[in-house]
């Protein structure tokens, strides 16, 4: 192929660059402080705290617990292999944030995960939560029968969505772009959010719910997407 075609092909599948990358370059050049000392300075609360309006709330509990109750405005960024990457995507370097977990043991583990990208100084408060707000539960059978009655948001990467579409009329907004584009989502129908397996849709549905502020119902399809993947006809 030509040089131009080669360069275009090479650049076509480049992943997004999380916000924390440039920050970590500077931390590495300067040198980070000792991990144990850094974690000692993270403010811990025995009970849930009153959060400052406008600061990000990262709720790392499993999606099933998040749907049972969460703090208004929280992003459900579940513990998993991508936790640090998404934390450093949704929270810009230097921004104070709250960290929520299902237990004190998990909380300390997640603080260590945050420290892997140098984010432990930005934790305003870390605590365990039994939250007051509940997320609506999706009727899966209704979605199967009346797919067109929902606005379906696919938060996978564009290449994933193009290669393996799950719903015919889904709107693809990659999770990395969702905070900037969520307010553009139509609100005349209930919104259903899906990804490939349930991890990204948990974060995506919480981001969309925060952005739309109750103007329409927002559902996380979660792991139930596998029921639809099996039925999808791929090109």
DSSP result, 142-197? HHHH-GGGSEEEE-S-HHHHHHS--STT-EE--GGGHHHHGGGS--SS-EEEE-SS
Residues 23 and 119 in one domain: yes
Structure tokens at 151: 């606005």
Residues 33 and 120 in one domain: yes
- Helix 20-30 crosses helix 83-90 at what angle (to 10 degrees)? 100
**What gap in Å lies between CA 162 and CA 180, rounded to an integer?**
21
CA-CA-CA-CA torsion sign (128, 52, 64, 167): negative
Q: Is residue 4 part of a domain?
A: no
Structure tokens at 235: 């090109």
Domain boundaries, position 215: 140-229
78 three-class SS? coil
Domain ends where: 88, 104, 128? 128
Backbone angles phi, psi at 8, to 5 degrees: -65, -40
Report the number of distinct structural domains present in the chain: 2
Q: What is the pTM of this model?
A: 0.87
Query: Each residue's pLDDT tens digit in the chain (235 positions)?
Result: 999 999 988 887 777 889 999 999 999 999 998 999 999 999 998 776 788 888 999 999 999 999 988 998 999 999 988 999 999 999 999 999 999 999 999 999 999 999 999 999 999 999 998 767 788 889 999 999 999 999 999 999 998 999 999 999 999 999 999 999 999 999 999 999 999 999 999 999 999 999 999 999 999 999 999 999 876 655 5
Q: CATH number for the domain including 62?
A: 3.40.250.10
Residues 172 and 117 in one domain: no
Residues 32 and 120 in one domain: yes
Residues 21 and 101 in one domain: yes
Within the chain, where are the H helices?
3-12, 20-30, 35-40, 63-68, 83-90, 104-115, 140-145, 158-163, 178-181, 199-212, 225-229
> For the chain, what's the residue count?
235
**What gap in Å lies between CA 88 and CA 233, rounded to an integer?**
35
Would you tell me how many other CB atoms lie within 10 Å of the CB of residue 106? 16
Domain ends where: 108, 128, 148? 128
* pLDDT for the residue numbered 235: 52
Compute CA distances 86 → 18, 78, 80, 186, 229, whole Å.
8, 10, 10, 25, 24
Which H helix or E strand runs over 58?
strand 57-59
Question: Nearest to residue 125, comparing CAs of 101, 144, 141, 92?
Answer: 101
DSSP 231: T
């Amino acid at each position: 192929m030509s040089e131009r075609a080669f360069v275009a092909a090479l650049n076509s599948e480049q992943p997004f660059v999380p916000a924390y990358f440039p920050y970590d370059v500077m931390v590495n050049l300067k040198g980070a402080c000792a991990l144990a000392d850094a974690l000692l300075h993270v403010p811990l609360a025995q009970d849930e705290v009153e959060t400052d309006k406008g600061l990000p709330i990262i709720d790392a509990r499993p999606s099933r617990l998040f749907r049972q109750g969460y703090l208004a405005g929280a992003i459900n960024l579940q513990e998993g292999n991508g936790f640090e990457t998404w934390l450093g995507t949704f929270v810009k370097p230097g921004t104070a944030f709250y960290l929520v977990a299902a237990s004190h043991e998990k909380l300390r583990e997640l603080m260590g995960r945050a420290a892997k990208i140098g984010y432990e100084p930005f934790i305003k408060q870390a605590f365990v939560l039994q939250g007051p707000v509940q997320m609506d539960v999706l009727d899966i059978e209704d979605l199967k029968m009346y797919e067109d009655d929902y606005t379906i948001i696919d938060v996978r990467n564009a290449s994933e969505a193009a290669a393996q579409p799950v719903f015919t009329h889904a709107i693809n907004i990659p999770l990395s772009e969702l905070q900037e584009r969520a307010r553009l989502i139509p609100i005349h129908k209930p919104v259903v959010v899906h990804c490939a397996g349930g991890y990204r849709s948990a974060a995506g549905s919480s981001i969309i719910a925060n952005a739309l502020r109750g103007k329409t119902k927002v559902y996380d399809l979660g792991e139930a997407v596998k029921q639809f993947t099996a039925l999808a006809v791929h090109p």
